[in-house]
């Protein structure tokens, strides 16, 4: 079922000034399809896909702040003079939708913001409180960084901290002025745009990274855009549904594609990473289930599950394995124990 809105609903959160800079490396995937790969910065942005259609452009995901979206819009204008008519939010996480505001009014004909109905509801119910929470919690983080900067003796460390303080201060200013802009067109299962020889399929294939993840599939080009349902880093599971996630990855992998534009990391080829993530979730859930069955505490489970998975998945995920495994074990242990889905 399609759910139509008259226009993007905006919710004003505060006051401040945004800035713009070149944040993305544009990689041509095929004729008319580009991957905007986010450069690594202290305040992360997601990747975006830029799809040039017969009468306009579709952009998939809008990053962590309006200034980042405006930076990408400037790069899009160097590729095509067509207007951005459609924006897709793959899910409700901050680094994928908080730039929506920048697209409203940027072109005379307007821009439709598309998402699953679950994602629109999640932005309202969870995304907005998280923005307000950041406005409260970022200032103490800045104070800690400034204190760390005062203690630093190495020039390289001082420069790193200066960069992070600058980036987070600018981000806080944008949060205070940002208008949370909700999707204006939602759907339950699928929405298909037919534009000349190219069709764009926006698909909800099941719960995964969140309850509302969508993929954007270009069958003629054999390209899939996955958001954070699958990406080049370690899975982040806090809002995830790991058992469903396996099935959703399998459903996505069954589509006919050669190229993956993921939510983070570089452009990928083939389907091996879908299989890797599915194996990881199965092994994680199995090890967490065994820890729960033994009566392990959560702390014990974190240690034992990490040790069991590290030989296989440490090399696969690199340094991010140790950065993320505790959070993933926390989630899996509670899911197995019935504390949450």
At 30-40, the pLDDT tens digits run: 999 999 999 98
- State the burial class of residue 171 (Cβ atoms within 10 Å of its Cβ: 0-12, 13-18, 19+): buried
DSSP H or E run through 57 = strand 57-60
Q: What is the DSSP letter of 212?
A: S
Residues 77-111 as b or e (16 or more Cβ within 10 Å = b): eeeeeebbbbbbbbbbbbbbbbbbbbbbeeeeebb
User: What is the phi/psi pair of residue 123, to 5°?
Assistant: -60, -45
**pTM: predicted TM-score of the whole model, two decimal places:** 0.90
pLDDT digits (tens, 9 = 90+) for 12-35: 444 333 333 478 999 999 999 999
| pLDDT for position 339 | 72
Run means of pLDDT, 10 residues per run, the chain, 341 residues: 41 38 89 96 93 97 95 95 98 97 93 98 96 95 94 93 91 92 97 95 98 98 98 96 98 98 97 98 98 96 98 95 96 88 47
Q: Are 93 and 239 in contact (CB under 8 A)?
A: yes
CB neighbourhood size of 150 (10 A): 9
């Amino acid at each position: 079922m399609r759910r139509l809105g008259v226009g993007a609903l905006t919710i004003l959160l505060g006051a401040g000034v945004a800035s713009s800079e070149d944040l993305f490396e544009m990689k041509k995937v095929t004729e008319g399809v580009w991957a905007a790969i986010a450069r690594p910065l202290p305040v992360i942005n997601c990747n975006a896909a830029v799809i040039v259609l017969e009468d306009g452009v579709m952009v998939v995901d809008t990053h962590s702040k309006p200034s980042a979206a405006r930076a990408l819009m400037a790069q899009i204008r160097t590729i095509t003079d067509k207007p951005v008519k459609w924006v897709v939010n793959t899910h409700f996480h901050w680094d994928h939708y908080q730039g929506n505001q920048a697209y409203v009014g940027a072109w005379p004909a307007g821009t439709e913001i598309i998402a699953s109905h679950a994602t629109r509801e999640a932005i309202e119910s969870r995304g907005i409180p998280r923005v307000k929470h950041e406005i409260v919690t970022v200032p103490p983080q800045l104070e800690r960084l400034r204190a760390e900067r005062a203690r630093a003796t190495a020039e390289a460390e001082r420069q790193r901290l200066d960069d992070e303080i600058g980036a987070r201060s600018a981000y806080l200013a944008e949060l205070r002025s940002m208008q949370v802009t909700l999707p204006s067109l939602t759907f339950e299962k699928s929405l298909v745009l037919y534009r000349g020889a190219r069709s764009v399929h926006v698909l909800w294939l099941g719960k995964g990274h969140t309850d509302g993840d969508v993929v954007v599939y270009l069958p003629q080009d054999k390209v899939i855009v996955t958001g954070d349902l699958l990406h080049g880093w370690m899975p982040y599971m806090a809002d995830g549904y790991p058992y469903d996630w396996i099935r959703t990855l399998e459903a996505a992998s069954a589509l006919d594609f050669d190229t993956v534009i993921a939510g983070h990391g570089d452009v990928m080829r083939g389907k091996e990473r879908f299989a890797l993530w599915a194996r990881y979730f199965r092994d994680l859930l199995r090890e967490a289930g065994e820890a729960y069955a033994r009566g392990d505490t959560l702390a014990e489970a974190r240690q034992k599950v990490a040790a069991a998975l590290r030989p296989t998945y440490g090399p696969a995920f690199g340094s991010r394995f140790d950065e993320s495994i505790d959070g993933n074990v926390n989630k899996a242990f509670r899911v197995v124990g019935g504390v949450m889905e």
